[in-house]
Structure 1
Amino acid sequence: MPTPRFKLCLLIDDNFIDNFVTRKILETGNFAEKIVVIQSAPEAIAKLQSKEIEPDVIFLDIRMPFMDGFEFLKEFDTLHLDDDKKIRIYMLSSSLDPVDFKLSSENKYITQFVHKPLTHKVLESLSA
């Protein structure tokens, strides 16, 4: 089995089933040494701010209660975490709204918009 491409992958999504499926794909695809799942964007911001977690890559959902994916990105910007190392952020969403896709493509932190569910084929293309 190949060496994982990333040390720490953070998955931010409020949906338990989506997290279960995505985590399994990431694990079986040997994508990262460690996968951390957080079901709330505010909690993820707090853990990033305290440096409790320092991910190389983040999979971020758009539609979440309390703070959506775009609000997360605004808060993320204030943390200045990306100044030291480039964290790859993939917007992982089931949204078909062209506005969501446009906002994702215009955001300086978003590496790519990925439609749910994540598949091994898509994961391989991200690892290329």
Structure 2
Amino acid sequence: MSETPLIWIIDDDDISKYVMKRNLRQLSVTNVIEFPDSTQPLKILSDNFDSTDKLPDVILLDLNMPILNGFQFMEEFKVANEKIKKDIQIYMLTSSLSSEDLDRAKLFPEISEYFVKPITLRNLARIVDNVLQE
């Protein structure tokens, strides 16, 4: 694993993205790409199955977004993931306190963990540490 993980933030909430990027900078993680919805990330994934340097180490995925929500992204990701030659950790983020959302997220083994926003600096540090240890 490289010393600078590539992290994708897929979230339509500008404040959430700002806070996550600020916290990641505190952890010396600057290789961050943000997306306002999940259509472009899915295209990048499907266009780069073999180009692991273009693929993220971590995806911080918002549940409630326009166009494709987090669960719809995960359905598409499951198909693409069969061809991807890189282990990508996905963390689902939501402002929802719904137990149904949490239960549904547990149905996706590709989701490493589920967080209610805002994700804390401590949790981001743990995610970064997990990636660096691989």
- TM-score interval w.r.t. the shorter chain? 0.7 to 0.9
Residue 120 of structure 2 is matched in structure 1 by: 119
Structure 1, residues 14-56: CA drift from partner, whole Å, max 9, x if none? 11111111111112122x4510001111121112222283001
Larger strand proportion, structure 1 or 2? 1
SS in 1 for 2:65: coil
User: Is 2:17 the partner of 1:19?
Assistant: yes
Q: In the alignment, residue 47 of structure 1 is paired with which amino acid?
A: I
Identical positions, percent: 29
Structure 1 stretches of 4+ with a deviation exceeding 4 A read none
For 2:45 and 2:32, locate their aligned partners in 1 and report how far apart those are by CA, in whole Å: 14
CA distance in 2, matches of 1:14, 1:81: 27
Kindly indicate whether residue 45 of structure 2 is the aligned counterpart of residue 48 of structure 1: yes
Q: CA-atom RMSD, angstroms?
A: 2.0
For residues 41-80 of structure 1, what are the structure 2 equivalents within 5 Å?
Answer: 41-51=38-48, 53-80=54-81
Q: Unaligned regions of 5+ residues in structure 2, if any?
A: none
Number of residue-to-residue matches in the alignment = 124
TM-score by length of 2: 0.82
Preserved contact between residue 24 and residue 30 of structure 2 (Cα < 8 Å): no
1:35 to 16, 32, 36: 32
